[in-house]
Amino acid sequence: MPNTSATSAETRAQAAAAAQEFDGQAGAAIHRQRRSLGLTATEVARRVGITQRQMSRLELGIEPLNLRLAIALGAALGMGPAWFLGLEAARMPEALGITLDDAHENWAHNLTLNLARAAGTSREH
């Protein structure tokens, strides 16, 4: 009988890795587009109603990108509303056999881990 706890943990780990890869690719795409337009992170942040710190964290891939913000950033940067679907990482969850619901299920936990990693600590349980 398969160990469902281990399988579940493995699935969560794969989902977390896919989410981090997506956030990193999305952040890099946002950064490239912003720079190509000659805009500062502060200018774009003001346009979409977030702080400059949050904008920087999005560009670094350490803050998860939600759908509403992705669309707002796309509009502010002259990118189509589904710009993020073209990213290679957008297909990763399905390629790993993970549903999008599974990939987004533990986003808060992933954010905590990313923040801890960025701060130089580890808070994995």
Q: How would you classify residue 65: left for phi > 0, otherwise alpha for psi between -120 and 50, otherwise beta? A: beta
Coil vs helix vs strand at 21: helix
pLDDT at 108: 54
What pLDDT does residue 47 have?
Answer: 96
Higher pLDDT: 56 or 101? It is: 56
Q: What is the mean pLDDT of the chain?
A: 78
Q: What pLDDT shows up at residue 90?
A: 58
Q: Exposed e or buried b for every residue in 3-28, given b needs 16+ CB within 10 A?
A: eeeeeeeebbebbbbbbbbbbbbbbe
**pLDDT (tens digit, 9 = 90+) per residue, 43-90?**
999 999 999 999 999 999 999 888 889 889 999 999 887 787 777 655
Query: In a 10 Å sphere around its CB, with 0-12 CB exposed, 13-18 middle and 19+ buried, how is residue 80 labelled?
Result: exposed
- What pLDDT score was predicted for residue 104? 55
Kindly list the structural domains of the chain, giving each domain's residue range(s) and its CATH number in brackets, ordered by start.
4-115 (1.10.260.40)
